[in-house]
Structure 1
Amino acid sequence: MEQTAHTIDTGNSLKVSLSTKDLVIYGITFMIPVAPLAFYGSFLTPANGMVALAYFIGMVAMLFTGFSYATMAARYPYSGSVYTYVQQGTNAGLGFLGGWGITLDYFLIPTITYLMSESFGNSLLPGVPGWVWIIALVLINTGVNILGVNIVTKISWVLFALQGIVLLAFIVGTVRLLILGQIQFQTISFYNPAHFNIQGVLQATGIVIVSYLGFDAISTLSEEAKDPHHSVGRAIILSIISIGLLFVVITVLAGFVAPDYQNLDPNTAFLGILQRVGGPWLVKLADVSIILSFGFASGQEGQTAISRILYAMGRDGILPKPLAKLSPKYHTPVVAVVLVGVFSLILSLSLSINTVSNLVSFGALFGFILLNLAVIWKFFIQNPEKGGLNVIKYVVSPLIGFGVSLWIFLSLDINSKIVGIVWIAIGLGILAYRTKFFTQKTPSLDFSNKD
């Protein structure tokens, strides 16, 4: 099936303003450095305490997939992420399915961040109803996203600093307890010989993967980045390595403080660890950091990322054209931003955090699998580039990314698979409708004459 090619209207484009540093901080903040503080308890049971191992496997999987992203970003520095990369690497139909799949997770990410902020907000200010937190966060984040990604990145820098203070206090406090001999070195978070179960670790990794999605979000900002051919790929790799190592260190130290992980309350596991390390002041500081980081930083950036994917699909014509409408003043996809805000509000008010957490990752992993295969097809099979280094870059690395992503994908919770399959089926239905049951060309953009 051939593609219908449309050209980009360069007079109606997104605003270019982001440096490599902005992209790295955007990605890291999206991935939420304090995420283990909120999710640690939910990973303990399936991973049998080996939360650091789950984060490490997730980092390896995302790193090799990140190399594939960097390859595609250098060749196709445009908004749309998996949608654009798979479309240009294979064909428009597969590109749409890959992009459609990852939008499932992006719709759920703002939802899970709002529900997490509501949960910790209720513990901090129990007199404020949960729906007030959610509505306030959605309205503020939608407004900020309409104003522009440069405002989002400025907020990201501030909240990144706040999270850094919390984590530094935890690390220093843990080292102090080690020096005083009040806690001991443990391997429990990385290897628990008494209860080692790789299937359980992979189940936890499937949920952990959502913590790494910020690197994909970086690629959605390609058309708003300075020197996107180089800066986007660099930012993707730097963000994966930085946040992955941080997650591993934080959860390893948590195992030092609380090797008795079975006795921790799953809902407040890391807060209990912070209580042991620093006392009530550190717990309160962490509460504030989690509320702001999930509700504002990740909530805003999740809305930014999916609005750019919807913008790219609307611009191509595979989804309704109004999604590509930009604000004349701020050069932001205002229709897509508002649509995501409405959906996030509805989902956040109707779903529980446990339900949403069990549904994430299907779409991302589905997209990662297609993307890695697209790199092999585009750069090794269709247009082979000779040389041993190219074999590593265009075959070995994406094959590893593909294999690890598929491994985790097959280990996902059954509910996640069911919802994911239904979502992909809906995407197939849209594709069939737009191509009159695959008898017409799939809409796509022609990037061949772009720099």
Structure 2
Amino acid sequence: MSNSRGRGLQAGALGTFDTVVMAVAGSAPAYSLAATTAVLVGAVGLASPAALLYCLIPMLGIALAFSYLSRIDVNAGASYSWVGRTLHPFLGFLSGWALVVSATIFMVAGSLPAGSMTLALFDASLAEDTALSTVVGAGWFVLMLLVVLGGARLTVRAQLVMSGVELALLALFAVLAVLHTGDARPFDWSWLGFGHFDGVSGFASGALIAAFYYWGWDVTSNLSEETRDSRRTTGLAGLIGVGVVFLLFEVFTIAVNVVLSSRQIHANEANVLAVLGEELWPGWGGKLLVVSVMLSTIATLETTLIQVTRSLFAMGRDRTMPSALGRVHRTWNTPWVAVTVVGGVALALFIASNALGTVGDILANAISAIGLQISVYYGLTGLAVVVAYRRMLLKSVAHFVLGGVWPLLGALFMFWVFVESLGELEPAAIAIGIGGLAAGLVPMLWYWRRGSDYYRPAKLDAARTVRADYVPGGRAGEQARGYEGLPTDF
């Protein structure tokens, strides 16, 4: 979808490899492990590897939903557009708003560890200083803000460097973990079963946190208007990204169970990966994994900025938010107003976060709140693909399973996790998660009453879209070339 009211985003800036890198970076393997492992262990104990394993299955269903929907609607708003055109515009806006709020909260949840990890390279005691961590983290955030403002090509070049070093270090320590001796406890296959969960509610709590681990791969869909052959590339990159980060998550979560004692995990809740590195390679290991986490955190700040600014750009373009958010810079082809607004709001939140407690306290509540919001927009997207492809599902077994049953099960799982978790979370996490979603009712109703065309959508129907909308010739014909190689019964 182009920007009909002005300049559009930088079309064709990213290739397949670029988008795969962005998908992996979006899930932030090292950051997720460092910031979330203690929270996950606190919720489910030794069942941490199982929580990640069983959350992978529905998450792949959601990734398939993104893949199928991106084939028929290229839009920087992704689920904001898809859900609005299939289920209802109000639900579509809620999907986009959930991403915006969760990403904005993450600016704090991500920048604080970036600051503390940077300080830990010089003096471990400085990493516990929330105020100083906030200042350093804000510095990294502003730098990434400028990179994102500079355009998609600059963004992916920076990402290749940061993620390349991060993944190389993680691969090295994965090997060291396999070769390590003198462990705290022996590996047990029961860690991958259901026996260690504290009932159904315990499993739901673990799944909610696991959803946060995986979150971020869908940045590829928000970059669809800037990606070559995006109708195939964005979905494929998302699926590859989920697979890569799952392997890393499982290896390191099992390594934490094996190598570290419960006391070590809880005593270093904001820095678990550094403690693991020190155990695996005394002297150098801790600092190297701190570097990995620092790069991962900074890299995922970049991809999160991409997600929130592209979502706000799509909303501004549709006039479901202030139209200025849909403006594109003449030189860099980036939504500079959206970038500026996000930067200002996030920096204000950095200052406010100092009143909320330690880095560990802030992370725990933010992760759970973000998990609630992720469940909403992922779940709605899983339902959207079933509605969009409803007339195609019986065309083949692949369509029925990959475009229907699997995404539907993923959606139902996300909604179940959302409901079950409400009874287990801290009041602060619920207030942030639900309150953030509820705040979206104000702009939604305001712009609905003002008559935004978004609230009178052309319904998204895969059968009609492929057969009628994408015909040879003109812009539609160019878009249709994205369907080369797809099943002929489309």
Q: TM-score, normalised by structure 2?
A: 0.83
Compare relative contact order (CA 8 Å, sep 6+) and give the higher one, 1 or 2: 1
Question: Amino acid of the residue matched to residue 369 of structure 1?
Answer: G
Mapped partners of 2:444, 2:188: distance in 1? 52
Mapped partners of 1:197, 1:71: distance in 2? 35
Question: Amino acid of the residue matched to residue 281 of structure 1?
Answer: W
Q: Which residue of 1 aligns with 2:311?
A: 309
Q: Which residue of 2 aligns with 1:22?
A: 18
Give matches, 1:21-100, under 5 Å: 21-34=17-30, 35-100=32-97
Give matches, 1:405-420, under 5 Å: 405-412=414-421, 413=425, 415=427, 416-420=429-433
- Is the 8 Å Cα contact of residues 20 and 238 (structure 2) preserved in structure 1? yes
Of the structure 1 ranges 362-371 and 182-191, higher mean CA displacement relative to structure 2 is found in: 182-191
CA deviations 1:7-51 (Å, max 9, x no partner) are 842861111211111111111012112121332222112111222
Question: Amino acid of the residue matched to residue 161 of structure 1?
Answer: G
Q: Which residue of 1 aligns with 2:379?
A: 369
Give matches, 1:311-390, under 5 Å: 311-351=313-353, 352-380=362-390, 386-390=395-399
- Is the 8 Å Cα contact of residues 434 and 442 (structure 1) preserved in structure 2? no
Asked if residue 399 in structure 1 is aligned to residue 399 in structure 2, the reply is: no
Mapped partners of 2:57, 2:393: distance in 1? 26
Mapped partners of 2:33, 2:447: distance in 1? 42
Mapped partners of 2:37, 2:63: distance in 1? 24
Question: Amino acid of the residue matched to residue 316 of structure 1?
Answer: D
CA deviations 1:229-253 (Å, max 9, x no partner) are 1101111111111111221122123
- Is the 8 Å Cα contact of residues 111 and 140 (structure 2) preserved in structure 1? yes
Q: Which residue of 2 aligns with 1:134?
A: 137
Cα RMSD of the aligned pairs, angstroms, is: 2.7
Mapped partners of 2:203, 2:173: distance in 1? 25
- Is the 8 Å Cα contact of residues 114 and 134 (structure 1) preserved in structure 2? yes
Distance change in 2, residues 1:192/1:233 (3 Å) = closer
* Unpaired stretches in structure 2, ≥5 consecutive residues: 354-361, 470-475, 480-490
Of the structure 1 ranges 144-153 and 198-207, higher mean CA displacement relative to structure 2 is found in: 198-207
Mapped partners of 1:431, 1:42: distance in 2? 34
Give matches, 1:156-195, under 5 Å: 156-178=159-181, 184-187=186-189, 189-191=191-193, 193=195
Distance change in 2, residues 1:354/1:441 (3 Å) = same
Mapped partners of 1:12, 1:45: distance in 2? 49
Mapped partners of 2:9, 2:196: distance in 1? 54
Deviation of 1:345 (Å): 1.3
Give matches, 1:430-441, under 5 Å: 430-436=443-449
- Is the 8 Å Cα contact of residues 372 and 433 (structure 2) preserved in structure 1? yes
Mapped partners of 2:177, 2:215: distance in 1? 28
Question: Amino acid of the residue matched to residue 252 of structure 2?
Answer: I
Mapped partners of 1:309, 1:392: distance in 2? 29
- Partner SS state of residue 328, structure 2: coil
Distance change in 2, residues 1:63/1:14 (3 Å) = same
Q: Which residue of 1 aligns with 2:8?
A: 13
Distance change in 2, residues 1:249/1:324 (3 Å) = same
Q: Which residue of 2 aligns with 1:3?
A: none
Mapped partners of 1:71, 1:18: distance in 2? 20
2:155 to 148, 152, 155: 152
- Is the 8 Å Cα contact of residues 166 and 282 (structure 1) preserved in structure 2? no
The sequence identity of aligned pairs, in percent, is 21
Q: Which residue of 1 aligns with 2:482?
A: none
Give matches, 1:258-277, under 5 Å: 258=260, 260-262=261-263, 264=265, 265-267=267-269, 268-277=271-280
* Unpaired stretches in structure 1, ≥5 consecutive residues: 1-5
- Partner SS state of residue 208, structure 1: helix
Deviation of 1:84 (Å): 1.2
